[in-house]
């Protein structure tokens, strides 16, 4: 069996072993497990049955992650993207007024659009059009983004909000009066200032212990340092009262599948696709939304693949050359992009928000994962969640956040490829990387980098450096920003 796996996944060629891949797969699984609890919580606010969304997310994650491992042979797991979950509920449904069935139809059409772009090598052309310094900035920016997520999840940061700068509470304009029913969300215009926490909360202390433990293990070059730190931090959290050892019975599997039957293919019903284009105003908004979401998902995937794949050597120079020169789908990156698009189409069909190649995959890669075998293990873990959901929820956020912090640090090595002495390269690179973290969006970071790259090259009158593809994509980004601002 080891020889068969070695041959199929090319383990020796990728300088890895079955043991390393299994441990990496377990690390990816545990790092991503929280998404399957977060996804139904967010989408249920759009009116969707929570347990049905839970099952749908697992179905698409298992499908996409297995296909990515078996077809593309890379360790990148797929699941509903966090930012896209929020966009689905708060923008498409609650903001634009679409029903959740129509929103699912939009997700499906986004997948179809991305399939067309991918199969016609549109994504290949986009990747080739990205300047090398921006590719490096995307990789380093992902490092900042991942570290920032880890710091937030660990609650190492507090945010002081100036009351005079509050714009809205619970998505309603704030007029300075009392708020009824409690505060669920708050938006301030530049009035939020981050500060370091006081480290008095047990969960924060546990995350700090986990971070120190992980750093020590890595400096000692201990194999499976990420998984060891994860398990050890979870166990340390028991006497601290952070790890929840009270395992309750989850909703019955039969009820979950009953709810799933109501979400699956709901996007194709009269309440979904059947009513999406009934009038011009609704149809035009749907069309613009499809392109906006498609662009976001496309660049989330490209950014993650470039950032992690190039930095770790998963995409070798030969593979990158094949991707740019070959018009078939033989390279790893080609295959990975194909899987990413088909998985989003399935998501819209079975009843969840857009999927993407998740940045949390970087934890498994950092743990040594280099082939699709990592994905097979992770996918089996996702499938087991149908039966072991209460057990998976035992792992506290304080145990997973140190992994993200350290992985982000590792990814920042891409910045060394940028000539920071050259302002023409430094300015677009800066906005690419910083906007990823501060806007909490990979695609918005890329948008900022593209736009400032055009501004810099125009100021330098280096028109030959501006490819038509870069200009068109930047125009779409600008349209997307205008849409958000005025609708």
Burial of 416-449, coded b for 16+ CB within 10 Å and e otherwise, reads ebbeeeeebbbbbbbbbbbbbbeebbbbbbbbbb
pLDDT above 90: residue 109: yes
**Cβ neighbourhood burial of 468 (10 Å; 0-12, 13-18, 19+):** exposed
The span from the CA of 361 to the CA of 411, in Å, is 13
The dihedrals phi and psi of 331, each to the nearest 5 degrees, come to: -80, 160
The span from the CA of 477 to the CA of 487, in Å, is 15
The span from the CA of 55 to the CA of 259, in Å, is 9
Range of 12-16, 93-97, 242-246 with top mean pLDDT: 12-16
Residue 169, classed as helix, strand or coil, is strand
Q: For position 313, what pLDDT does the model report?
A: 78
Q: For position 38, what pLDDT does the model report?
A: 74
pLDDT above 80: residue 259: yes
Beta strands in 58-161 (DSSP E): 78-80, 157-161
Q: For position 184, what pLDDT does the model report?
A: 65
User: Average model confidence (pLDDT) for the chain?
Assistant: 85
pLDDT digits (tens, 9 = 90+) for 164-180: 777 777 767 777 666 67
pLDDT digits (tens, 9 = 90+) for 279-333: 777 787 788 788 777 777 777 787 788 778 776 778 877 777 777 676 667 788 8
The dihedrals phi and psi of 223, each to the nearest 5 degrees, come to: -60, 145
Please, what sign has the CA dihedral across residues 350, 352, 354, 360? negative
pLDDT digits (tens, 9 = 90+) for 213-251: 999 999 998 867 888 888 899 999 999 999 988 765 555
Which residues, at least 6 apart from 152, have a Cβ–Cβ distance to it below 8 Å?
none
The span from the CA of 162 to the CA of 179, in Å, is 16
Using alpha carbons, list the distances in angstroms from residue 229 to 158, 246, 361, 408, 439.
Answer: 25, 22, 17, 16, 30
Q: For position 454, what pLDDT does the model report?
A: 95
Residue 80, classed as helix, strand or coil, is strand
Q: What is the dihedral of CA 43, 49, 51, 53, to 10 degrees?
A: -40
């Amino acid at each position: 069996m080891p020889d068969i796996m070695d041959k199929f996944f090319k383990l020796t060629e990728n300088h890895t072993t079955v043991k390393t891949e299994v441990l990496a797969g377990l690390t990816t699984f545990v790092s991503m497990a929280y998404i399957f609890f977060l996804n139904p919580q967010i989408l249920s606010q759009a009116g969707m049955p929570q347990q049905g969304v839970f099952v749908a997310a697992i179905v698409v994650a298992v499908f996409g992650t297995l296909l990515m491992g078996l077809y593309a042979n890379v360790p990148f797991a797929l699941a509903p993207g966090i930012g896209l979950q929020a966009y689905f509920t708060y923008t498409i449904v609650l903001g634009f007024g679409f029903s959740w069935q129509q929103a699912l139809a939009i997700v499906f059409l986004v997948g179809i659009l991305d399939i067309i772009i991918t199969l016609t090598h549109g994504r290949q052309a986009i990747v080739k059009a990205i300047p090398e310094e921006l590719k490096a900035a995307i990789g380093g920016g992902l490092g900042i983004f991942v570290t920032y997520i880890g710091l937030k999840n660990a609650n190492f940061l507090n945010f002081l909000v100036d009351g005079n700068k509050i714009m809205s509470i619970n998505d309603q304009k704030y007029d300075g009066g009392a708020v009824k029913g409690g505060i669920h969300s708050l938006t301030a215009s530049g009035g939020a200032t981050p500060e370091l926490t006081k480290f008095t909360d047990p969960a924060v202390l546990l995350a700090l212990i986990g971070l120190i433990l992980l750093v020590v293990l890595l400096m000692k070059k201990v194999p499976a340092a990420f998984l060891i730190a994860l398990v050890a931090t979870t166990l340390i959290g028991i006497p601290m009262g952070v790890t929840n050892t009270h395992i309750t019975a989850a909703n019955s599997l039969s009820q979950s599948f009953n709810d799933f039957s109501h979400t699956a293919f709901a996007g194709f019903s009269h309440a979904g696709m059947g009513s999406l284009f009934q009038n011009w105003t609704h149809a035009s908004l749907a069309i613009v939304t499809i392109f906006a979401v498609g662009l976001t998902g496309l660049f989330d995937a490209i950014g993650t693949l470039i950032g992690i794949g190039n930095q770790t050597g998963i995409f070798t120079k030969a593979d990158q050359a094949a991707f740019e020169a070959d018009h078939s789908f033989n390279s790893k990156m080609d295959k990975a992009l194909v899987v990413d698009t088909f998985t989003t189409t399935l998501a819209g069909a079975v009843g969840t928000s857009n999927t993407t190649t998740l940045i949390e995959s970087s934890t498994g890669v950092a743990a040594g994962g280099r082939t699709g075998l990592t994905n097979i293990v992770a996918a089996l873990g996702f499938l087991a969640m149908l039966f072991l959901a209460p057990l998976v929820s035992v792992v506290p956020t304080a145990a997973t956040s140190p992994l993200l912090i350290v992985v982000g640090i590792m990814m920042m090595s891409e910045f060394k490829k940028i000539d920071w002495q050259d302002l023409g390269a430094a300015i677009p690179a800066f906005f690419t990387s910083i906007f990823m973290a501060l806007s909490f969006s990979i695609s918005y970071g890329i948008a900022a980098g593209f736009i400032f790259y055009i501004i810099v090259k125009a100021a330098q009158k280096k028109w030959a450096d501006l490819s038509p593809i870069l200009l068109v994509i930047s125009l779409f980004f600008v349209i997307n920003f205008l849409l958000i601002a005025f609708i």
